[in-house]
Every structure is written in structure tokens, then in C-alpha cells.
Amino acid sequence: MSDILLEIRNLSTYFETRSGVVKAVDGLDLTLRRNHTMCVVGESGSGKSMTASSILQILKRPGRIVSGEMIYHFRDGRTVDIARLDPNSKQMRAIRGKYISMIFQEPMTSMSPVHTIGSQISEMMLVHEDVSKAEAKARTIELLTRVRIPDAAARFSSYPFQLSGGMRQRAMIAMALACRPDLVIADEPTTALDVTTQANVLNLMREIQRESGISIMLITHDLGVVAEVADDVTVMYLGRTMEQANVFDLFNAPKHPYTRALLGSVPRLDLQRGERLTQIRGMVPNPFARPTGCPFVTRCPERRFGLCDRQEPDLYRLDGSTSRCFQHDPVHAAAWAQNDEVLA
Ligand SMILES: Nc1ncnc2c1ncn2[C@@H]1O[C@H](COP(=O)(O)OP(=O)(O)OP(=O)(O)O)[C@@H](O)[C@H]1O
Ligand SMILES: [Mg+2]
């Protein structure tokens, strides 16, 4: 069995609107390993959610995958390029229901308010698997117990609105796990929860991952969450991968100036009194006004005049990680180091 579950290469998803083209995802590279947790981070608008919607092919019009590939490795060794599947095809529906599932920030958006949580979860099993109603019900109760919903047999017949926020989120995790997927994508799953409930939900996801060997792709703003749960991290900016690394390297030796800037804007306990948090200067550019050269050039504290504002860096492979910055380009690194004409 391949150690890799999903390989996204050069993926672009555009919205062709009347005011112009929004390149929501723009040449993204991302590799998900089987049985590992990948956190995807980046400021608002960097394309995290649209990456998730592209993987599941649930983009809303006029959003459209325009190029790239998403190679999905099944357990039996077969592969499929999800980018080439018709969103409405039988194969894509099977992938969505059975192999990859999604946890949203607000459970009420993906749960039906007029059906009990038990019937919604068992329905998933009945649609995608060859099980009887009784089996589906038994498995649902087992799942609800596993996500620690107290008195699961009775809760089977509760409606979503009868549960607390934290419990609804657990029920949604149960729903995502209904057909024993290989990958669960969670888009800001705990942002709406209080800190304690958030920690409980994250611990639960981690525990389930260890037990059942699923992969998790967790989209989050919260670098504290990343430090806690990630194995690998992808840093996105304007639809592109700026850095991908294992979590240890990312925090201890961040390679890309954007990663360093993101880490610099996190509160730390060891700051001296009066010492300021560094903020990333400026704003994420308007999607219609992408800079020439490196996407991060307008805000980068390490940009080099005449290079970073002219050419776009590739995603360079380093020891076990990748970085999209000229300082890691074998051709430009020396010039980059000597060029002290840093833009103020
Ligand atoms: N329906 C749409 N029409 C046009 N542009 C869109 C549409 N949906 C998203 N976009 C654009 O795609 C880009 C990426 O959006 P996306 O929602 O993936 O960002 P994100 O990283 O998830 O941000 P956040 O952290 O705020 O959730 C943004 O520039 C956004 O404005
Ligand atoms: Mg989002």
C-alpha cells in the first residue's frame, strides 16, 4: 500500500466573474500521507476552503478546476485523478461518500434540521454500503458512543437542534466517519467552539485517527492547534503553496519568509513585557491585483529588489520540505544572499 494518499500537483481553481478572474487556487502542490494529519494554514482568502471544495468537487459556480491533478491512491493500489472526474459522476459520488468526507465549521450547514442525527448517519451507511437497516442502526449507536455522546442509544433519535454546539460537532464527526473513509477534511472545525470544547473535539479526532488510521486534512487559522495536532503543515498564500514541512521543522526552522511572518504574529509566553508582536505588514492583495513576481513580494521583509518583484520563484525541494523562495533556489541563492538591496 502506498504511503501517499493524495497528491495534488499544480492545481488551479478559478472563478471567472464579471469583474475578472479570481485565482482562488493557483498552482497548488500538496501531498497527503496515509494515516497522518496535514494542517493547512494561511491568512483569510489564501484558498484553503476552495482547496477542500476542489478535492471533493463541490465548487459553487462559477468556480471551476482549470488545471492540475489530484491523484488519489486507493487501498488496493489503484489510483484515480479526481481532477478529471465529472463532479456528478458515480465515481465522484462514491469518493465523496465513502473515501473522503468533510467536517464543516458549522454542523447545521451539513446536517438536516428535520431528521434525527441517528437516521442521518445510518442513511449514509445505507446509501454507500451493503448493510441492513438494523446493522446500520447498531453501527451508528456504536459510532455515537465512540465520539463520546452520552447515552447514544437515546440520542440516536435526537434532532440536531436538541444538542449543544460541542455535541453537534461530535455528531458531525460521527457522520464523517460513517463509511470508514480514508480521508477526513475538516475546515475550521472548532473555531465556533469555546476553548475547552475545542480541545475535546481535537483530542477526539486525534484519538480516532490513531485507532482507525485515517488521514486528516485540517484547515485552521490557529497555529496553537497546528502545533498540537499536525504531522505535516502546508502554508498557503494567494492560492499557492509557500512551504510544506513536517510540523517540527516548520516551528523550529521555518524556511519561507511568509511562514516566519505568520509565526512572528503569534502571541508567546516568553515575550518580554512591552515587547511587541510583529505584525505582517500590509494586507493580502486584492484577488484582482496580484503582484508581479513572488506572490508575497508586496509584504515580504526579506524581498530582494530586482529579483523578487520580477520573477516568480518555483517551489524548491529541500531536505524533506519545500519552499517557494529564491533564497532556496540553487541558481539564485548566492545572488540573493549578496544582494543587500532589500526593499524598505
Ligand atoms: N463564489 C466566489 N466567487 C468569486 N471568488 C470567490 C468565490 N468564493 C471564493 N472566492 C475567492 O477565492 C479566494 C479563496 O477563498 P477561500 O474561501 O478558499 O479562502 P480561505 O483561505 O478559506 O479563507 P478563510 O480563512 O477566510 O476561510 C478568495 O480570494 C475568495 O474571495
Ligand atoms: Mg475558508
- What is the average pLDDT across 20-27? 94
CB 204 within 8 A of CB 173: yes
Q: Is the CB of 22 under 6 A from ligand 1?
A: yes
Q: What separation in angstroms does the CA of 63 have from each of 14, 40, 53, 128, 232?
A: 6, 20, 10, 27, 28
Ligand 1 mean position to 239 CA, how many Å? 9
Q: Which tens digits make up the pLDDT trace of 181-227?
A: 999 999 998 877 788 888 888 888 888 888 888 999 999 988 888 99
Specify the DSSP element, H or E, that contains 301: none
* SS3 label, residue 29: strand
How high is the pLDDT of residue 282?
84
Q: Is the CB of 287 under 6 A from ligand 1?
A: yes
How high is the pLDDT of residue 190?
81
State the sign of the Cα–Cα–Cα–Cα dihedral 254, 4, 69, 332.
positive
Model confidence at 85, pLDDT cuts 50, 70, 90, reads: very high
How high is the pLDDT of residue 224?
87
- The chain-wide mean pLDDT, for the chain, equals 90
Ligand 2 mean position to 52 CA, how many Å? 9
Rounded Cα distance between 64 and 100, Å, is: 20
How high is the pLDDT of residue 268?
65
Q: Which tens digits make up the pLDDT trace of 303-340?
A: 988 899 999 999 999 988 999 999 999 888 887 887 76
Residues 6+ apart with CB under 8 A from 125: 131, 135, 136, 139, 140, 178, 179
Q: Is the CB of 220 under 6 A from ligand 1?
A: no
Residues 6+ apart with CB under 8 A from 202: 190, 225, 228, 229
Name the residue with the closest Cα to ligand 1, atom 25.
44
Grid cell 459553487 — which residue?
Answer: 60
Ligand 1 pocket test target in 21, 25, 50, 221 with most atoms within 8 Å of CB:
50
Cross-strand bridge partners of residue 243 = 235, 323
How high is the pLDDT of residue 343?
55
Model confidence at 277, pLDDT cuts 50, 70, 90, reads: low
| Helical residues (DSSP H) of 57-188, grouped into ranges | 90-94, 107-110, 117-128, 133-146, 152-155, 165-177
Q: Is the CB of 12 under 6 A from ligand 1?
A: no
How high is the pLDDT of residue 289?
82
Model confidence at 146, pLDDT cuts 50, 70, 90, reads: confident
* SS3 label, residue 5: strand
Closest ligand 1 atom to 15 CA: 4
Residues 6+ apart with CB under 8 A from 190: 169, 197, 198, 201, 202, 225
How high is the pLDDT of residue 125?
93
How high is the pLDDT of residue 267?
66
State the sign of the Cα–Cα–Cα–Cα dihedral 179, 38, 187, 105.
positive
